[in-house]
């Protein structure tokens, strides 16, 4: 079935073949997640259409029911797309699960078939401006579609360079080839692309890695962080490892008003691989929820009670639910004096924004994890009241000397030395109370494991995003933050299926 095995193909057509194999694999996985058992493949006349044609071929020959529309005349096919069409003609005439339709735009009822995954291969990366007919009509048809849509390489109609989308497919998932495109992060790009997968099609790493996601006007070159980069940081653990080798994290948070946040942080840290987790709660904090029995819970009334709990710890996670009281400020100020790698979140960030002088005495690795509101307050605190937050958080990272994980759609991680990474996982299911507290726990676990803050933040953010995708495989509603820690074992199995 895999004609690449033992075959000699010319360079560009071989890449199209590799793309189609990777796209078919991705489509099968996504169909399984969404509960779909058939495919509607839409192919245009360009190379993106050629990818779609060969993807349809692979799916049909694997036994799936495939309905394929070539949306323009076969006379317009050229080059590799024409080769792909000829190959389909040779291979699929005896496959009764493959249904071919040429040119005609179907009635909207075709998109109401239950359990159907739509594969968008109408237009590729060369589009500039409003798509012409017949593509415009197909795109409008898909805009009213309630079935899940997976775009091949890029949503049809989206400008790959600028992110402009005057008329574009809105995908639930975009499976992009080799590397993400700048337009996927700019303007309407994130909304049109939905979830992102970066598929390896055999382009050598030394060529692929020399191409940044894009070159920003201020000289920044953000890099995308996807499955391959996460796998490189997730080393296989020795069979003989034990808990003390995996680090001991101290989580400090909670208050009378917000008792649940630090519990999410502590559980997530254990699930993410911290060997031991101690949860320090103020006496006023009386959580109503239950904790894993493996979390060690300690109460403290004064900072003097708390500081001994930090002795010998591998890392700290400070802030979830802590509140903004004078007592909370004293706690954060004293803990930042310690020579221990630290993840600071939530109220800890708001307190730091009011007291930037606290970092003058901080001597260890520091990771800040703000959402957009906390980020604005930190910018004002460290860069001045008149400073407007930039699109990227590099200025704040330089001003604080800390790694900054700015949470949001396509979260970004900035290092003080100017490195900038964009996270490619995640889904709207993460837009729920407590999701950030879970992320703080994962960050803390990786700091406790010994990762430097920049790597800990990139890896934690990606795995947190994958957990969000698993929590709501198709769509985004119904998931809550409490679901996320329990999904982390499955996230890790994606990297080490034998573990």
Domain containing 430 — which CATH number? 3.40.1190.20
- Report yes or no on 21 lying in a domain: yes
Residues 202 and 244 in one domain: no
Q: Which two tokens stand for residue 326?
A: 């004078």
Residues 184 and 243 in one domain: no
Q: Per-residue pLDDT tens for 333-376?
A: 999 999 999 999 999 999 999 999 999 877 779 999 999 999 99
Residues 273 and 361 in one domain: yes
- 5 pLDDT tier (thresholds 50, 70, 90): very low
- Report yes or no on 172 lying in a domain: yes
Q: Per-residue pLDDT tens for 97-137?
A: 888 887 666 666 667 778 899 999 999 998 888 999 999 99
- Report yes or no on 111 lying in a domain: yes
Helix (H) or strand (E) holding 409, with range, is none
Burial 394-426 (b: 16+ CB within 10 A, else e): bbbbbbbebbbbbbeebbbbbbbeebbbbbbbb
CATH value at residue 129: 3.40.50.10260
Q: Sheet harboring 296-300: ordered strands across?
A: 223-225, 420-423, 412-414, 403-406, 366-368, 342-344, 315-318, 248-252, 276-282, 296-300
Q: Of 176, 211, 246, which one is at a domain's C-terminal end?
A: 211
Residues 355 and 207 in one domain: no
What domain range includes position 141? 11-211
Taking residues 211-227, what's their average pLDDT? 71
Taking residues 255-272, what's their average pLDDT? 96
Q: Kindly report the length of the chain.
A: 499
CB neighbour list of residue 301: distance below 8 Å, 6 or more residues apart? 282, 283
What pLDDT, on the 0 to 100 scale, is given for residue 1? 39
- Inform me whether the pLDDT recorded for 70 exceeds 70: yes
Q: Is the dihedral of CA 146, 151, 156, 161 positive or negative?
A: positive
- Report yes or no on 184 lying in a domain: yes
- Report yes or no on 122 lying in a domain: yes
- Report yes or no on 218 lying in a domain: no
Of residues 499 and 459, the one with the higher pLDDT is 459
Residues 184 and 318 in one domain: no
What pLDDT, on the 0 to 100 scale, is given for residue 106? 60
- Inform me whether the pLDDT recorded for 94 exceeds 90: no
Name the DSSP letter for residue 483.
G
Q: Of 211, 240, 264, which one is at a domain's C-terminal end?
A: 211
Taking residues 431-458, what's their average pLDDT? 97
- Report yes or no on 83 lying in a domain: yes
Residues 471 and 432 in one domain: yes
Q: Which two tokens stand for residue 236?
A: 């296989």
Q: Per-residue pLDDT tens for 374-419?
A: 999 999 999 997 776 777 889 999 999 999 999 999 999 999 999 9
Number of domains in the chain: 2
Cβ atoms within 10 Å, residue 21: 20
Residues 268 and 402 in one domain: yes
Q: Of 148, 176, 211, which one is at a domain's C-terminal end?
A: 211
Q: Per-residue pLDDT tens for 16-35?
A: 999 999 999 999 999 999 99
Residues 244 and 371 in one domain: yes
Residues 86 and 174 in one domain: yes
- 218 pLDDT tier (thresholds 50, 70, 90): low
Residues 314 and 377 in one domain: yes
- Whole-angstrom distance, CA of residue 54 vs CA of residue 77: 14
Closest of 434, 437, 253 to residue 327, by C-alpha? 253
- Report yes or no on 4 lying in a domain: no
Residues 243 and 320 in one domain: yes
Residues 124 and 90 in one domain: yes
């Amino acid at each position: 079935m895999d004609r690449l095995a033992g075959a000699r193909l010319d360079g560009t057509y071989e890449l199209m073949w590799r793309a189609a194999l990777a796209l078919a694999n991705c489509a099968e996985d996504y169909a399984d997640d969404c509960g779909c058992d058939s495919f509607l493949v839409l192919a245009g006349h360009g190379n993106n259409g050629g990818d779609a044609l060969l993807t349809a071929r692979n799916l049909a020959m694997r036994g799936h029911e495939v309905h394929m529309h070539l949306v323009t005349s076969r006379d317009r096919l050229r080059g590799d797309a024409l080769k792909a069409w000829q190959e389909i003609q040779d291979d699929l005439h005896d496959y009764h699960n493959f249904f071919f339709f040429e040119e005609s735009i179907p009635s909207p009822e075709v998109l109401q078939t239950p359990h159907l995954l739509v594969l968008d291969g109408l237009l590729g990366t060369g589009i500039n401006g409003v798509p012409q007919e017949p593509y415009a009509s197909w795109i409008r048809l898909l805009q009213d579609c309630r079935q899940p849509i997976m775009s091949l390489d890029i949503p049809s109609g989206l400008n790959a360079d600028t992110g402009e989308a005057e008329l574009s497919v809105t995908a639930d998932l975009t499976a992009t080839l080799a590397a993400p495109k700048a337009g996927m992060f700019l303007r309407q790009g994130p909304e049109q692309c939905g979830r992102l997968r970066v598929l390896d099609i055999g382009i050598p790493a030394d060529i692929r890695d020399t191409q940044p996601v894009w070159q920003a006007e201020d000289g920044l070159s953000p890099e995308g962080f996807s499955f391959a980069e996460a796998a490189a940081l997730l080393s296989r653990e020795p069979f003989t490892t034990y808990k003390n080798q995996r680090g001991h994290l101290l989580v400090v948070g909670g208050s009378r008003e917000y008792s649940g946040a630090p519990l999410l942080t502590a559980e997530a840290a254990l699930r993410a691989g911290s060997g031991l987790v101690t949860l320090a709660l103020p006496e006023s904090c009386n959580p109503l929820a239950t904790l894993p029995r493996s979390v060690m819970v300690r109460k403290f009334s004064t900072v003097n009670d708390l500081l001994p709990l930090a002795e010998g710890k591998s890392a700290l996670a400070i802030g979830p639910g802590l509140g903004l009281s004078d007592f909370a400020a004293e706690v954060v100020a004293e803990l930042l004096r310690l020579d221990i790698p630290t993840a600071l979140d939530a109220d800890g960030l708001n307190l730091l924004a009011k007291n930037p002088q606290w970092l003058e005495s901080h001597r260890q690795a520091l990771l800040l994890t703000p959402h957009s509101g906390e980020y604005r307050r930190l910018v004002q605190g460290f860069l001045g009241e008149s400073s407007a937050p930039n699109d990227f958080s590099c200025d704040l990272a330089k001003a604080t000397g800390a790694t900054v994980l700015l949470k949001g759609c396509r979260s970004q991680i900035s290092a003080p030395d100017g490195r900038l990474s964009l996270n490619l996982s995640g889904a709207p299911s993460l837009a729920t109370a407590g999701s950030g507290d879970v992320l703080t726990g994962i960050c803390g676990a990786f700091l406790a494991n010994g990762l430097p803050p920049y790597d800990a933040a990139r890896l934690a953010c990606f795995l947190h995003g994958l957990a969000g995708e698993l929590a709501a495989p198709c769509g985004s509603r119904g998931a809550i933050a409490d679901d996320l820690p329990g999904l982390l074992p499955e996230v890790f199995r994606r990297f080490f299926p034998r573990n």
